[in-house]
């Protein structure tokens, strides 16, 4: 089962990942993406979310 990790220092809160995978990511009050559904990677194109992140803050492990 792949796992997605956010580098919060790199995240700039653009919300692209939230739009692509709303069941996996949510923007927090700190305007950084957070993982709300680590087991929901299958509900969206997680690979695309990782690739579209403008700051390469997301990695799949």
| 37 binds ligand SF4 per the rule CB under 6 A | no
Smallest distance from the beta carbon of 28 to ligand SF4, in angstroms?
10
* Nearest-angstrom CA–CA distance, 18 and 34: 9
Cβ pair 57, 34 in contact under 8 A: no
| 24 binds ligand SF4 per the rule CB under 6 A | no
Residues 40-59 that bind ligand SF4 (CB under 6 A): 53-55, 57-58
Cβ pair 30, 11 in contact under 8 A: no
Summarize as ranges the residues that interact with ligand SF4 (CB under 6 A). 6, 11-17, 33, 53-55, 57-58
């Amino acid at each position: 089962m792949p796992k997605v990790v956010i580098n919060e220092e790199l995240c700039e809160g653009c919300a692209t990942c939230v739009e692509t995978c709303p069941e996996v990511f949510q923007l927090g009050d700190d305007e950084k993406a957070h993982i709300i559904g680590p087991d929901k990677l299958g509900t969206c194109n997680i690979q695309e979310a990782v690739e579209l992140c403008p700051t390469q803050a997301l990695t799949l492990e």
